[in-house]
Amino acid sequence: MNQRGFAHIVLLFILAITVLIGSGIYFIHSRLLNHTQSLTGVIRTNSTLLVAPPSPSPDTQNSSIASLPLFIQKSVIVYTTAIDNTDSTNIYLLNGLSSKPVLIDQGEFPTLSPKYTKIAYTGTVDDTSSVMIYDISSGKKAVFVKEAQGCEVMSTFWSSGGNYLLVSKHCGGSDSSSATVYAYPSGKALTTIPGIEGYRSVSAEWLDDSTLYYTEPFYGSDIGSNGCMGLGFTTQVTQIVFPSAQKKTLLAATALSDYNLEDIDNGNLYYKKSDWEGKSCTSGVPVDTYWMAKGDGSDAQQINKDELPSAKTDAQYLLMQTKVLSMLGAKYSKDSVEFIEQNPSDNNWIVFTISKPSSQSSAGNNAQSGTIAIMNLQDPSHTFYQIGQGLIASWLK
């Protein structure tokens, strides 16, 4: 064999080795990449690793965290996840999208304090429904109020300055709820608000840190037997000022008229007036009108129902829901997108829950099939990011 032929053989041998090494490197890189991708979005629940998002996930591809704005990357989000085979939920705190979720406690209905420093939620202590407080900076939790045996806490609402907590509850065999206002942090009970018979919630809203409005039941025997209210009860709007807990009726019920609190917004009071005059008490329908007044009930003016803040909020919610659905695809229905909440710093960013399409949901397991996700309404396709498995989420910041 001449020298030139030998050189050709050496070159072919080197080329073959290079191809084999390259293939091996590509194979190893692919295995490492796949392994890395299989670890993304892992969260820990009850010492069990759950891969987020749950399968099946939306078809839309996840954006990378690095491509999102810095203030979104550092988002602090609180959310709940279902505990398998129970009616209970866990509450998690996510301090930045790249961090691991922190288990706060087993509980429900987390509510953020106005300054985003505390989380009030419903927990169980000694088999008793209780209000718990979690301090975000220290990571410590404490019992705020233990309700009486047989009572179940339904919700909690902070006053605008965080000095009072309205706790709605349902007790015993009653078919209605009541609410108690507690001073924070002392836990002193200041007053109790009666619920409306047959309703398992209390209609109440804070005007500011010291003024609360609510719809108060007012029974027919208290206003005489004239008109329809002799058959049952009517409702009126009452104001409570704290810390004295002094009550004042702003919109008083009559035998033929009642009032219901609708909204509180920008210091204004929105309410519904129902008139029964000239109507049959047993089969008639009252004439409902809607009104806006100052916080003290003065300067009332009639408005259309669609001018209520809640009506405008509902319309905005529907627009956001439609935007999300247009990105997810046809197999998702309106009911698949729930619990949309806007970011407090930028309303274009939303956090929401995506349920499985109805055709893929298992009976009795719908509550456990959600995916928590975020996106920017102005650029959905480039900002969609799935956080993980969950039920309801809220931004802290």
Q: Is the pTM of this model over 0.85?
A: no
Total domain count for the chain? 2
Percent pLDDT > 70 in the chain is: 73
Percent of all residues in the chain with a pLDDT value above 90, rounded to a whole number: 52
pLDDT of 4 higher than 80:
no
Q: Are residues 62 and 22 in the same domain?
A: no
Q: Which of 151-160, 186-195, 229-238 has the lowest mean pLDDT?
A: 229-238
Question: How many CA atoms lie within 13 Å of 76's alpha carbon, on the beta-carbon side?
Answer: 13
Per-residue pLDDT band at 279 (split at 50, 70, 90): low
Compute the distance between CA of residue 395 and CA of residue 287 in angstroms, rounded to an integer: 40
pLDDT of residue 369: 57
pLDDT (tens digit per residue) in 223-264: 444 445 444 567 899 999 999 999 999 999 887 788 999 999
Q: Tens digits of per-residue pLDDT, 104-150?
A: 999 999 999 998 899 999 999 988 899 999 999 999 999 999 988 88
Under the banding of pLDDT at 50, 70 and 90, the label for residue 43 is very low
On whether both 242 and 355 belong to a single domain, the answer is yes
β-strands 177-183, 164-171 pairing: antiparallel
Residues 78 and 17: their CA atoms lie apart, in Å, by 54
Parent domain of 266: 43-395
Query: What is the pLDDT of the chain when averaged over all its residues?
Result: 79
The CATH number for 385's domain is: 2.130.10
What is the per-residue pLDDT for 8?
A: 42
Give pLDDT, residue 359. Answer: 52
Q: Is the backbone of residue 285 left (phi > 0), alpha (psi -120 to 50) or beta?
A: beta
Q: Are residues 250 and 342 in the same domain?
A: yes
Bridge-based pairing state of the strands 108-112 and 257-265 = unpaired
Do 246 and 340 reside in the same domain of the chain?
Answer: yes
The DSSP secondary-structure symbol of 187 reads -
Q: Are residues 147 and 11 part of one domain? A: no
Please report the pLDDT score of residue 176 as a whole number.
Answer: 67
Same domain membership, residue 121 and residue 9: no
Q: For residues 342 and 53, which has the higher predicted lDDT (pLDDT)?
A: 342
Q: Are residues 192 and 175 in the same domain?
A: yes
Same domain (yes/no): 251, 182: yes
* Rounded Cα–Cα distance for residues 184 and 192 (Å): 16
What pLDDT is attached to residue 10? 37
Note whether 75 and 100 are same-domain residues.
yes
Same domain, 26 and 75: no
b or e along 349-369 (b: 16 or more beta carbons within 10 Å of the residue's beta carbon)?
bbbbbbbbbeeeeeeeeeebb
More confident call, 359 vs 163 = 163
Whether residue 44 has pLDDT greater than 60: no
Q: What tokens were used for 47? A: 């010492």
Joined tokens for residue 324: 């999300």
Task: Give long-range contacts, CB 8 A cutoff, 24+ apart: 356-360.
Answer: 356/56, 357/331, 357/332, 357/333, 358/333, 359/331, 360/56
57, β-bridge pairs? none
Is pLDDT of 32 > 70?
A: no
Q: How confident is the model over 274-298, as a mean pLDDT?
A: 80
> How sure is the predictor about 39, in pLDDT bands with cuts at 50, 70 and 90?
very low
Q: Is the domain of 131 the same as that of 222?
A: yes
**In this structure, are 14 and 108 located in the same domain?**
no
